[in-house]
Amino acid sequence: MKGIAVLSCLMIASLVPLITPLHADESGRWHITGYGTLGVNQDDHHPRTSFIRDISQRPQDSFTTSSWLTDDAWRRDTRLGLQVGYQFTPTLSAVSQLVLRDQVSPRLTHFIDWGYVALTPIPDVDVRLGRVGFDVFLMSEQRNLGYSYPWVRPPVEFYGWVPLYSIDGADLGYTLRDQETRWRFKIQGGRSPGLGVPIDDDIFYVASNKIMTATLTRESGPWLFKAGYSHVTFSKEADPLARMGLFAGLDEVARLGIDPISRDADQLRRQMTWKNARMNYFTIGSTYDDNDWLAQAELGVVASSIDMAMNNTMAYLGLARRLGNWTPYAMVSAIRPNTTRYSSIRPWGDGLPQELQGTLNGLQTGAQAAVNSTRIHQETLTLGLRWDFSSRAAIKWQLDTTQVHPHGYLLRPSNDVAQATTVHLFSVNLDFMF
């Protein structure tokens, strides 16, 4: 799929001034819409890190800095979405959404974000069956729709570690109206499509056969509040780690019964055992939008049963001011690990025969690096400007300054994770709808 998203968006972007929305056909049943982003970004030539929008993308060029002309610089934010809907009856419809974007998974089904049948059995109650958007935070179902928000991309510290865009299952929603206030209750259940996350040159398909979410939303005037909870049980082991020999090596050391080395190996093995591991995610957010000012903030906490999964607290605050066709904005975002970095008490090879020292110390180093590789510790200050030059298209300019702390590089992949780094990233996006 390399280059498809960029090529498609270039073709659509060149036609933006000519595009007219494709509404329902003469029978009033078909509805076809689309959106896209043509984006390019460039950091300040830092030799040790590589920018990714989310963890489903692979760092390019062995951490060498992309130039404006490389496909890497154009692929991170570029995407193209097409949504097709059919209204069978006033209470029954079907919707499908395809999104081309940069991700490591080559599976065609992983480019389908939505594919569901929607039913409204009684007023204010709706049911969707099929592939639905994973809904637990404010921007759940618009993460790819760049035209709908002021900034270039959703804050990486809050959204970049979540590769899950949709679930295969069902959701149930209930809407309650109280004068000018609208309450929305929603629950979801299902399994994940198993999107890919890179581990070195391999791919780990993060699968789950048990996902449950519950959200409560309140809208009144310019205010929107949303609280969410999500539970995920992982159903698949991290195969790339097994293919590296880490699992077999740790199991063998644990069976030796040489304490404290065997206890340490057993602990490391359990902290990277994804199958049947559990993750709980709590989030609360609010948006204020009076058509002149826009303020948006979210706070989230994620806790997992293993150290190699996510254990973080994250938050952001964004502020934008609309001045005709121009919207200047600013945002601060941060994420902190809730667990300490895993470190063994001493090298495993100490005091053992020379022929075992290299093997044991190498296994120990590799296992510790794997467990600590998912740590995230960084904060970003964002300044930007949006220009709505058309009723269906906008250009955005954005500068991000990110401080990455030692051993907190999952969202800013690096070949030197022990050092703190400050990186500046400049981005220009063309967002459009049709």
Query: Does the residue 109 lie in any domain?
Result: no
Contact 276, 291 (CB under 8 A): no
Query: How many domains is the chain built from?
Result: 1
Is the Cα torsion angle 200, 203, 209, 215 positive or negative in sign?
positive
Q: Which pLDDT does position 68 carry in this prediction? A: 57
Q: What is the reported pLDDT for 327?
A: 98
Answer whether residue 207 is part of any domain.
Answer: yes
Give me the residue label for tokens 């480019």. Answer: 111
Q: Report yes or no on 203 lying in a domain.
A: yes
Dist. CA 295–CA 225, nearest whole Å: 12
Question: Which portions of the chain are predicted below pLDDT 70?
Answer: 1-28, 45-47, 61-71, 352
Q: How far apart are CA 196 and CA 105, in angstroms?
A: 5
Q: What's the CATH code of the domain at 292? A: 2.40.160.10
325 falls within a domain: yes
**CA gap 164, 195 in Å, rounded:** 7
pLDDT at 61: 56
CA 118 to CA 161: how far, in whole Å?
A: 29
With respect to residue 247, please indicate whether it lies within any of the assigned structural domains: no
Is 136 part of a structural domain of the chain?
yes
Residue 328, judged by CB atoms within 10 A of its CB (0-12, 13-18, 19+), counts as middle
User: What is the residue range of 186's domain?
Assistant: 39-52+117-238+274-339+375-433
Q: For position 50, what pLDDT does the model report?
A: 86
- Residue in 76, 3, 87, 88 with CA at minimum distance from that of residue 42: 76
252: Cα separation from own chain's centroid: 36
Q: What is the pLDDT of residue 2?
A: 41
Q: Nearest to residue 208, comparing CAs of 228, 237, 188, 187?
A: 237
Assess if residue 181 is contained within a domain: yes
Q: Are residues 385 and 326 in contact, defined by beta-carbon separation less than 8 angstroms?
A: yes
- Show Cβ contacts of residue 323 under 8 Å, excluding neighbours closer than 6 positions: none
Let me know if residue 48 belongs to a domain: yes
The pLDDT of residue 166 is 93
